[in-house]
Amino acid sequence: MNLKKEIREIPDFPKKGINFKDITTLLKNREAFNLVVDSIVSEFKDRNISKVVGLESRGFIFGGAIASRLNAGFVPVRKKGKLPAQVLSETYELEYGIDSVEMHVDALNKEDVVLIHDDLLATGGTAFAALNLAKRAGVKTTYFSFVCDLEFIHSSKKDEIKKFNPQILVRY
């Protein structure tokens, strides 16, 4: 199955000049959805993943399914102000602005083996922020997976993420 054909592009969203990769069309196709989950689980099933960190918001959709199939816990990394308990916070740059993400301080520990998952790798800013949160929690072993990579976007943060050899299913 060609997953790229399952992803709709929305021009000029959220800002003029950005072609948004809309995975809701992939999500509604059970075969495509299961192919993504199966592919990621297959890649990481023998790596002793104890927690899957899903990045808000689309990373939650696949992240929860992946965590369940890996028999791992799920940790949401959310936008600032969305989590109710004490948090660690990281600010990062997007391809179209600046934002912050947060994670509960007790979500991860130094014994965890973590898979950070998001739907899209653009500048790498969000994923790098999640990596910093995991490091601050003491995590020593981290992996990454993404549904899509916007290969035409280059940044130092993305270069750092690429050193982890992330699993990427669709490249643009």
**Catalytic residue chosen out of the listed positions 6, 58, 78, 90:** 58
End-to-end CA distance of the chain: 16
**Catalytic residue chosen out of the listed positions 8, 9, 47, 95:** 95
Q: State yes or no: is 95 an active-site residue.
A: yes
Q: State yes or no: is 78 an active-site residue.
A: no
Nearest C-alpha neighbor of 101 from the set 86, 118, 116, 89: 89
Written as six digits, the tokens of 74 are 């799920």
Catalytic residues: 58, 95
